[in-house]
Amino acid sequence: MIVGYYIRGSGERWQLIRQNERYEDEVVANGLSFQEAVALYWRKMAELAAPAEADAAPVRQPRKRSPQLSLKL
């Protein structure tokens, strides 16, 4: 399971790093400009969040109440 992403680098060369639940790092992209790294970071974070939103429980609608019976004496 992927926990998150972060950006690492300096100057002209930046990397996007993926981190799993055991905090192991994997280089996703290397040699990026800072702007490219930031854009890729946000794209990957949005993809990471998308399945959680899709799996969310649907909002329950209140049930329609049946008409109450009246007792005639």
Where are the chain's structural domains? 2-54
Please check the confidence at residue 70 and state whether its pLDDT lies above 90.
no
pTM of the shown model? 0.65
Q: Given this model, what pLDDT does residue 42 score?
A: 94
pLDDT confidence bin for 1, thresholds 50/70/90:
confident
Q: What is the pLDDT of residues 25-69, one digit of tens each?
A: 999 999 999 999 999 999 999 988 876 555 566 667 777 777 777
What is the pLDDT at residue 44? 92
10 Å CB burial of residue 68 (0-12, 13-18, 19+) is exposed
